[in-house]
A and B are shown apart, each in its own frame.
Chain A
Amino acid sequence: MGTVEKKIEELGITLPEMRPPVANYVPAVRTGNLLFLSGSIPAKRPDGTEVRGKLGDDLSVEEGYEAARLVGINLLAVLKATLGDLDKVKRIVKLLSMINAAPDFTETPAVANGCSDLMVEVFGDKGKHARSAVGMASLPLNVPVEVEMVAEVED
């Protein structure tokens, strides 16, 4: 087991099995040393339940933070499935964190931190990324957070 996966295990996280998308797109595309990931939605909680809802309406910032962390777990699963070994990640380059938000909800950064914190916990300095955190009118399946990622990977 690689260093990064050991770290994930220490954090008590089990990466989910990757399910291929049900439409004409793929989880990730590599071009050169950059890997572009499709927008991920939150993984199921360890107890099997799913998080749904809108920030500023039926979810608290804390619940949004948890949802963003669960999105990060799915992104890690995509990286693992694509690269085989998470130690091949050289740098998390950028996250676009899209938050399902009521029109007057403005704490999108506090929600996006759930995913950003996880990347730094897992990858250390290599996990420090550029980021945008924005509020959406609505998201697929009424998920609270969708995040897409660009990562730099080894040759």
Chain B
Amino acid sequence: MSVPGARLVYTSGRTPRRRDGSFITGKLGDGLSVKEGYEAAQLTVLNLLASLKAEIGDLDRVSQVVKILAMVNSTQDFIEQPAVANGASDLLVEIFGERGRHARSAIGMEALPFNVAIEIEMIVEVSPQDA
């Protein structure tokens, strides 16, 4: 449910960008393992949270993670996108607890920018600044 006066924040799609500016690249089903995909999804969440923090100032204002769209760089026959997306979902619940339990879609993409392993966009509900 909803906090009165809450607003929705839509992030752009973020990618698994490391601290040194490099990316986790590659395609699931073609050289990249599910475990590596899971880790890429975790790293992508950190980038999403960095965007969100820059926008709203304090991550404690997140009253609910509403939805993520997990777009997994996939071969035509790779079908384990949920196992990859779990890297993001698990971390969001670890960080935000019950408020981190979100709706989700996990899908396989033909190609992604810079050949990154995954791109994720997110919608969160944010409580008012003075709450």
Contacts and interface: CB of A to CB of B under 8 A. Distances in A.
B82 A37 contact: no
24 contacts: A23-B89, A24-B90, A24-B93, A26-B102, A29-B67, A29-B103, A30-B2, A31-B6, A32-B2, A36-B66, A38-B103, A98-B105, A135-B110, A138-B74, A138-B75, A138-B79, A139-B79, A139-B81, A139-B108, A140-B106, A140-B107, A142-B79, A148-B67, A148-B103
Interface of A: 23-32, 36-39, 54, 96, 98, 102-103, 135-142, 146, 148
Interface of B: 1-2, 6, 8, 29, 64-69, 74-82, 85-86, 89-90, 92-93, 100-110, 123, 125
Contact of B66 (A27, A31, A39): A31
B114 to A, nearest CB: 17
A36 B67 contact: yes
Given A24-B89, A25-B103, A96-B105, 5 more contacts: A36-B103, A138-B77, A138-B81, A140-B107, A148-B103
Contacts of A31: 2, 6, 8, 64, 66, 125
Contact of B82 (A28, A98, A102, A140): A140
B108 A54 contact: no
